[in-house]
Structure 1
């Protein structure tokens, strides 16, 4: 194994260890708690969700253009 190859492998291993240490410090919660929090957030903000309540036509940038006809 060449010297540059071993130093490259060492750098990759050190980077992996650094990432694992960061992940080990991350605060974790149970999936059931995360799901409950997400459900509560969605229910609290449902009245502001345009997918649920719709978008007023005056605010909709994708509304069909009004045609103008000359009589």
Structure 2
């Protein structure tokens, strides 16, 4: 009886795998060279908005070093 349950669970598992593979086969794919070109173009077009490249104005920077307070 356990052999029947085991083969039944194997069939269910195989059906799940086949269903997943069919879903993955339908995904539209592009060549890596095209994806790299698209990514490069996106980065170049948006470089002026990137704070890591352009820096952050000190007035907008929440992590700027604290200024010291002095009483005169």
* TM-score, normalised relative to structure 1: 0.81
Q: CA deviation at 1:24?
A: 0.3
1:6 and 1:63, CA in 2 relative to 1: closer, same or farther beyond 3 A?
farther
**Matched positions, count:** 71
Unmatched tracts of structure 2, length 5 or more = none
Partner residue of 1:51?
A: 52
How large is the RMSD of aligned CA atoms in angstroms? 1.8
Q: Higher Cα Rg: structure 1 or 2?
A: 2
Which structure 2 residues correspond to residues 1-71 of structure 1 after superposition, within 5 A? 2=2, 3-71=4-72
* TM-score, normalised relative to structure 2: 0.80
1:48-70 deviation line (CA, Å, top 9, x unaligned): 01111011111111111222111
Unmatched tracts of structure 1, length 5 or more = none
